[in-house]
């Protein structure tokens, strides 16, 4: 069977043949599962892409099962996209200064309006970043005092080129930190550093252990 029979250009003059299981492009385009117009279907068929049939040289005709399968496999493409971070009302309103969008890793860019630059003496959850990755998520009641320790203390050393944080109520620090560790699975939270990674509750400890 030829992919593109000579002379097959349009089915405007073709009779409908539903009793034989064949349909013209206009009929297929009217099906609720068909996402393309009849003109586009004809174009794809007459250029040899979409499967079709001719009857005594007339056509193209289409079978529902074969054209539907071809459309699904060739024209429909899934884009998984990026997960939207859950908007958590427990976050405090951030200070007036923020982090430029270009400095925020893609994985937490939806939080850009809530993120602030270190230093601050307020409680919050902080993100240590390197290049375009979040490599560690931590929490502290005094972020400005805690973050520098990761660059100075041998047992707690982490490689990062910038840090940013978002204010969180003290009573919610554990919940927010755990949520973002689970969501982002940063390198140092999962693999640890010079000492065993601090895990704030059994659920997260088990979760991180499964990912190692």
Domains of the chain: 18-74 (no CATH), 101-211 (3.40.1440.10)
Q: Which residue has the tokens 């560690």?
A: 136
Confidence check: pLDDT of 80 > 50: yes
Mean pLDDT of the chain: 75
Confidence check: pLDDT of 52 > 90: yes
pLDDT score for 75:
86
Residue 88: pLDDT band with limits 50, 70, 90 = very low
On whether the pTM is more than 0.85, the answer is no
pLDDT score for 165:
86
pLDDT score for 193:
47
Confidence check: pLDDT of 2 > 70: no
What are φ and ψ of residue 136, in 5° steps? -160, 140
Residues counted in the chain: 212
The pLDDT tens digits of the residues spanning 100-157 come to: 677 778 878 777 777 776 656 778 899 998 888 899 999 998 888 888 888 776 666 7
Residues sharing a CB contact under 8 Å with residue 14, sequence separation 6 or more, in sequence order: 24, 58, 59, 61
Strand ranges inside the chain, DSSP E: 53-55, 58-61, 116-117, 124-130, 133-140, 162-167
């Amino acid at each position: 069977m030829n992919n593109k029979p000579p002379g097959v250009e349009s089915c405007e003059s073709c009779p409908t043949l539903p009793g034989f299981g064949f349909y013209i492009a206009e009929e297929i385009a009217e099906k609720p599962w068909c996402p393309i117009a009849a003109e586009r279907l004809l174009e794809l068929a007459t250029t040899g892409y979409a499967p079709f049939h001719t009857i005594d040289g007339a056509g193209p005709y289409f079978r529902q099962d074969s054209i539907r399968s071809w459309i699904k496999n060739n024209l429909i493409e899934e884009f998984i996209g990026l997960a939207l971070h859950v908007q958590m009302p427990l976050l405090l309103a951030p200070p007036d200064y923020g982090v430029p969008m270009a400095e925020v890793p893609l994985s937490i860019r939806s939080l850009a309006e809530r993120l602030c630059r270190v230093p601050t003496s307020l409680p919050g959850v902080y993100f240590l970043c390197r290049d375009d990755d979040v490599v560690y998520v931590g929490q502290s009641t005094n972020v400005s005092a805690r973050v520098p320790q990761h660059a100075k203390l041998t047992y707690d050393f982490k490689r990062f080129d910038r840090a940013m944080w978002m204010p969180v109520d003290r009573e919610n620090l554990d919940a927010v930190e755990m949520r973002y560790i689970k969501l982002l699975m940063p390198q140092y939270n999962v693999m640890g550093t010079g000492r065993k990674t601090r895990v704030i509750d059994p659920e997260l400890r088990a979760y991180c252990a499964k990912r190692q």
